[in-house]
């Protein structure tokens, strides 16, 4: 691994993000699989809308807004997911021109490509979800939509993509080129998916190797020890959908690494190293406390989610192993 080359490539990627923001007003394009939204917008001649959660993803030349959903061919789940739906979020779709249900081909290609999609009018998908979710009992309030549902219940057919250069094409090429070179240097595939790129930056500080996307554990060191990574913009780390299976997986990790990053300046601000067994005990205790609190209010927990802060980490004697201060 050539550290000088890697640092140079990271600086290039940071500059691309800065230039992209200056041109289009959209930042944080190297996280949360944002590259796939850029691919979709480029192919459909849409303009990306700045922001993440809570806002629509893109608009057309007349200002009509669209929401994007995508899944990758390599995924074990070939459906599109609506997480944490509510009456309000379903109703909000009424004011959306359409939801784009996109397929990303990422098998046997040099880089993932957007190859087909369904375009479902906002009012149609809103009405469908309002009916379909009545029977859903899971506390998380999640529903998956499949191709069969769209075709059989909504009477729509998939549309294929015919490629031509769009407003984002040259930017996509630059991002893919630099990211691909970083992947070769660090030995990790799919760094533009989820928080993988930021995990790589953390791993470089710790001498770890981030495992590729489908791996069970996030990172490994030279001795074969496994690690779970949590990366956040601030000093609060979220553990979502906690189950016995998830907690059992943590127990096979040497440590849980909790990092705070600045996604605009590409800076790792702090890294904590916490004993995995102590993290599991802490999560179990806080989840019990949350259940009792909700029960006293006559409420039911929708998602088994717990956030940890530096005070929590201090209580289990987690070590601050890196600080940019």
Beta strands 255-262; 226-232: pairing state: parallel
pTM summary value: 0.89
CA neighbor of 118 nearest in space, from 154, 165, 78, 171: 154
Which residue has 């998908």 as its token pair?
A: 125
Could you tell me the CATH number of the domain that includes residue 260?
3.40.210.10
Residue numbers of the domain that contains 295: 195-323
pLDDT for 215 beyond 70: no
On whether residue 284 sits in a domain, the answer given is yes
| b/e per residue 275-289 (b: at least 16 CB within 10 A) | bbebbbebbeebbee
Beta strands 58-59; 47-48: pairing state: antiparallel
Phi, psi of 307 (to 5 degrees): -110, 140
Among 79-93, 257-271, 272-286, 287-301, name the one with the lowest average pLDDT.
79-93
Cβ atoms < 10 Å from Cβ of 108: 6
- If one counts the domains in the chain, the total is 2
In percent, how much of the chain has pLDDT > 70?
96
Which residue has 């059992």 as its token pair?
A: 248
Among 61-70, 129-138, 151-160, 226-235, name the one with the lowest average pLDDT.
129-138
Claim to verify: residue 199 and residue 309 sit in the same structural domain: yes
On whether residue 182 sits in a domain, the answer given is no
Summarised one tens digit per residue, pLDDT across range 61-105 is: 999 999 999 999 988 899 999 886 778 888 899 999 999 999 999
- 3-class state of residue 237 by DSSP: strand
Claim to verify: residue 148 and residue 216 sit in the same structural domain: no
Domain boundary among 137, 170, 203: 170
Q: What pLDDT score does 165 carry? A: 86
Claim to verify: residue 32 and residue 152 sit in the same structural domain: yes
Claim to verify: residue 24 and residue 108 sit in the same structural domain: yes
Rg (CA), the chain: 21
């Amino acid at each position: 691994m050539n550290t000088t080359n890697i640092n140079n490539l990271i600086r290039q990627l940071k500059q691309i993000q800065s230039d992209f923001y200056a041109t289009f007003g959209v930042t944080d394009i190297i996280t949360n699989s944002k590259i796939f939204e850029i691919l979709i917008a480029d192919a459909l001649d849409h303009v990306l809308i700045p922001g993440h959660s809570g806002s629509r993803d893109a608009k057309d030349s007349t200002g009509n807004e669209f929401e994007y959903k995508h899944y990758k061919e390599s995924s074990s789940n070939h459906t599109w997911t609506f997480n944490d739906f509510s009456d309000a979020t379903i109703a909000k779709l009424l004011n959306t021109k359409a939801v784009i249900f996109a397929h990303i081909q990422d098998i046997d290609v040099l880089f993932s490509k957007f190859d087909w999609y369904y375009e479902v009018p906002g009012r149609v998908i809103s009405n469908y979800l309002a009916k379909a979710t009545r029977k859903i009992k899971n506390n998380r309030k999640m529903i998956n939509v499949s191709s069969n549902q769209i075709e059989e219940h909504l009477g729509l057919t998939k549309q294929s993509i015919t490629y031509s250069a769009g407003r984002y094409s040259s930017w996509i090429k630059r991002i893919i080129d630099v990211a691909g070179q970083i992947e070769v240097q660090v030995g990790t595939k799919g760094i533009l998916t989820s928080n993988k790129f930021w995990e790589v930056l953390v791993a470089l500080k710790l001498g770890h190797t981030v495992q590729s996307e489908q791996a069970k554990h996030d990172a490994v060191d030279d001795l074969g020890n496994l690690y779970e990574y949590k990366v956040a913009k601030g000093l609060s780390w979220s553990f979502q959908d906690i189950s016995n299976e998830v907690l059992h997986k943590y127990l096979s990790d040497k440590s849980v690494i909790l990092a705070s990053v600045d996604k605009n300046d590409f800076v790792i601000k702090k890294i904590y190293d916490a004993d995995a067994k102590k993290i599991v005990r802490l999560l179990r205790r806080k989840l019990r406390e949350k259940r009792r609190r909700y029960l006293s209010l006559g409420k039911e927990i929708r998602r088994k989610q717990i956030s940890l802060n530096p005070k929590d980490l201090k209580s289990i004697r987690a070590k601050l192993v890196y600080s940019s201060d």
